[in-house]
Structure 1
Amino acid sequence: MTLLQTFQFFAPCPRGLEALLAQELSQLGARDVRPSDGGVAFAGAPMLMYKVNLQSRLASRVLWKLAERPYRTEEDIYQLARGVEWPALFALENTIKVSVTAVKSPLRSPEFAGLKVKDAVCDAFRAKTGARPSVDTQEPDMRIQLFLTDRMAVVYLDTSGEPLFKRGYRRETGAAPLRENLAAGIVQLSGWNPDEPLLDPMCGSGTILIEAAMLARKIAPGLKRSFAFQQFRDFAPAIWQRIKDEAIAAQTGQPLALFGRDIDARALRHAEANMQAAGVADAITLQQGDYLDAAAPADHGVLVTNPPYGVRLEEQQHLMSLYPQWGNVLKQYFAGWRAYFFTGDMQLAKVIRLKASKRTPLFNGALDCRLFEFVMVKGGNRD
């Protein structure tokens, strides 16, 4: 990898955020930006790859495309991977892991195809050094990704390491916390402006509020963590330091009106710890209390929340009784606000008895979800 050369990359993201991610990548300087289902392909130099890892709020990883060709057999896969000069990319001492994603692949066992990639990597090192790298399936230094369609095979090297939604600030978590890049996307989809008040009345460990604060203050989400590309042979520490210094210089201390509520005192302690670690605790006011007792903290603003949605029958029945009460609270106390509910429960918009002005499909992992928008106007909205 030479610093001036252009390479092809692919950034996966939560499904539903592809258009936002494409816009973000373009703003960071990416070229040939091409959204597809589940991610965005783009081109650029290594400096851009450094910057995307540091700055992207929406990507899950940044994958470097190393090789691509049509295939029919596992031997084709081996030859594809064997054509990569692996010892020029990372050291023998680096541990490796090969993962496979297959969509309509004709191969009987995609996992066996992954083993062929691992064999190709090890054979390349053995031919060059007389030894082979070790496999580590838990915390590898180098993650190699094989992607198979019905006729094409692509080999990627993961430049990120740990997923990019792991910002490095999370100290405490509640049950099933929202992933940070999905939370950042939800905030952006709400159209929230940093000059507006923002309330999460069921804030849990505070992810939505923290991501909003980091967005508003231009805090690069990757500043508190390390990346796999820092172990690449051609890693340029001076350039990386300059990119980080520029990101730090761009931060602001903009005052913000961010408010979080939760009925669970333990969740609020978790949120406080996370906000302190992220460096945004001064921007967010936390309060313990039931959403049903919540008064609006201002005469206008944006409410964004990820309410619980039940898996067991008794949970679903309890929530069904709460939804109309939430609707009443919005109607009584939040005229002049825009409210956004992110949920996997498609019944919410119907049972809350408010007319949703927008329903944005999003995926939380494999779970089909919706971001419901309710624009609260006095005397209106009743469905």
Structure 2
Amino acid sequence: MKLVAKTFHGLEQVLAGELEALGATNINVLKRAVSFDANKELLYRSNLQLRTAIRILQPLTTFKARNDEELYRAVKAYDWSPYLRDDQTLAIDPVVFSRFFTHSKYVALKVKDAICDQFRDKSGKRPSVDLQRPNLMINVHVAEDQFTLSMDSSGQPLNRRGYRTKEHPAPINEVLAAGMVMLSGYDGSQPFLDPMCGSGTIVMEATMIAARMAPNLKRKEFGFMRWNNYDESLWKKIFDEAQAQVRTPPQRINGSDMALSAIDVSRHSALDFGLKQYIDFEVAPFNEVLPKGKNGIAIMNPPYDERMKSKDIVMLYTQIGDQLKQRFSGWNAWVISSNFEALKVISLKPAERHTLFNGSLECRFQKFDLYEGTKKRRVRNAPDHHPSQS
């Protein structure tokens, strides 16, 4: 079967790599998505194991429509009986980018009516709507007049791992956090630090990677479990294999933040999720944080100036650069921010740049190689400076 895994802009290649590692074939990178060929086992594994996927969709039919009558006829003409019974429930999830259809809820209503009317015409009964736990969640993607209808095998978005038990003012999406950790090359063998960890999302994703823990191992239900062809014994086999792979990380994972309330949220999440024994949290401002160990990886998501005054943000990013240069020799540091001007005052040349989106904000995710001894060598080998060269 053909499947499509949805992701965020900038993480498509990371997701493609994950799929290749799982054994997927015919992998094609799309815009904010990756398509691939799979069987039922890989469908189940993808939902359990993929860190950078938001949803796994199974496309069913495509067609063109420019008005509600064409839409209704095309949906009703497709045979829905292999996937749904008249005594079951459905829900429609519309994603609409079209000049012909400007209201996503109206598109969802027409699709629902067409499917239900097909069953009513055959048996006199029709499926009902259940927005919380439907037997079949149908994703409707509309690009101008091109429709794609897919079964959503995930149900709730896959970023909802289950460890975010308390609210935090500005949490980073779990899929984005996992993608950042994977882009950094972290595999658990190095020390890891998030010195501005907030509610701990980046730390939690790094810990799961280090522990070889499937990101959705604690999740109780997926959409495919309510499908008519659900194979419970196959799922149990896949789940048991994933559970057996979990290990104790070879290095400690560290997270710190200046706000006690944020650290409290982080500790609570890690404790509830069974990962607290692998993580050291501390309350400390960034300028007091010392790296634990050598040649580690630090990832940070500092404020972007959404709520801070410009002079404060310049001071903060200058401080980030100073601290990295002075205390993190031998480490690789990664910083994500939508404030491109503030990133410049870090005053370090990025070794890598990636464009990612944190919500609607376009961000740069930049790597800084902090080589041991580099600064001294550069000073010693620097050419003499003459006023005429200024």
Calculate the TM-score normalised by the size of structure 2.
Answer: 0.89
* 2:42 counterpart of 1:48: yes
* Partner Cα distance (2:50, 2:102) in 1: 36
Structure 1 residue 108 displacement after superposition? 5.4
- Answer whether contact 2:207 2:249 (CA < 8 A) is retained: no
* Partner Cα distance (1:355, 1:49) in 2: 42
Q: How does 1:161-200 map to 2 (within 5 A)?
A: 161-200=155-194
* 2:269 counterpart of 1:248: no
* 2:113 counterpart of 1:122: no
Q: How does 1:136-151 map to 2 (within 5 A)?
A: 136-137=130-131, 140=134, 142-151=136-145
SS state at 1:88 partner: coil
What are structure 2's unaligned runs of at least 5 residues? 380-390
Q: For residues 54 and 297 of structure 1, do their structure 2 counterparts lie closer, same or farther at Cα, with a shift above 3 Å needed?
A: same
Range with bigger deviation, 70-79 or 212-221: 70-79
Q: For residues 323 and 67 of structure 1, do their structure 2 counterparts lie closer, same or farther at Cα, with a shift above 3 Å needed?
A: same
* Residue 217 (structure 2) aligned to one of 223, 245, 255: 223
* Partner Cα distance (1:308, 1:93) in 2: 50
SS state at 2:9 partner: coil
Q: For residues 9 and 293 of structure 1, do their structure 2 counterparts lie closer, same or farther at Cα, with a shift above 3 Å needed?
A: same
- Answer whether contact 2:9 2:31 (CA < 8 A) is retained: yes
- Answer whether contact 1:170 1:277 (CA < 8 A) is retained: no
Q: How does 1:226-375 map to 2 (within 5 A)?
A: 226-312=221-307, 314-375=308-369
* Partner Cα distance (2:257, 2:101) in 1: 49
SS state at 1:62 partner: strand
Structure 1 residue 184 displacement after superposition? 0.7
Q: How does 1:66-145 map to 2 (within 5 A)?
A: 66-92=60-86, 94-107=88-101, 109=103, 111-137=105-131, 140=134, 142-145=136-139
Query: Which amino acid is the alignment partner of residue 131 of structure 1?
Result: K
Structure 1 residue 173 displacement after superposition? 3.4
- Answer whether contact 1:256 1:284 (CA < 8 A) is retained: no
Structure 1 residue 35 displacement after superposition? 0.9
Structure 1 residue 278 displacement after superposition? 2.5
- Answer whether contact 1:356 1:373 (CA < 8 A) is retained: yes
SS state at 1:224 partner: coil
Q: For residues 74 and 239 of structure 1, do their structure 2 counterparts lie closer, same or farther at Cα, with a shift above 3 Å needed?
A: same
Structure 1 residue 205 displacement after superposition? 1.5
- Answer whether contact 1:72 1:106 (CA < 8 A) is retained: yes
- Large movers: runs of 4+ above 6 Å: none
- Answer whether contact 1:217 1:253 (CA < 8 A) is retained: yes
Structure 1 residue 252 displacement after superposition? 1.9
* Partner Cα distance (1:109, 1:268) in 2: 42
* 2:12 counterpart of 1:18: yes
Residue 4 of structure 1 is matched in structure 2 by none
* Partner Cα distance (1:141, 1:159) in 2: 10
Query: Which amino acid is the alignment partner of residue 281 of structure 1?
Result: K
Residue 31 of structure 1 is matched in structure 2 by 25
* Partner Cα distance (1:254, 1:326) in 2: 28
Q: For residues 94 and 317 of structure 1, do their structure 2 counterparts lie closer, same or farther at Cα, with a shift above 3 Å needed?
A: farther
> How large is the Cα RMSD of the aligned pairs?
2.2
Aligned length: 375
What are structure 1's unaligned runs of at least 5 residues? 1-6
SS state at 1:199 partner: strand
Q: Give per-residue Cα distances to partners, 1:254-302, cap 9 Å, x unaligned.
A: 3322111111112111111211233221211111110011122123211
- Answer whether contact 1:197 1:300 (CA < 8 A) is retained: yes
- Answer whether contact 1:90 1:231 (CA < 8 A) is retained: no
Task: Tell me the percent identity.
Answer: 35
Larger CA Rg, structure 1 vs 2:
2
Calculate the TM-score normalised by the size of structure 1.
Answer: 0.91
Structure 1 residue 169 displacement after superposition? 2.3
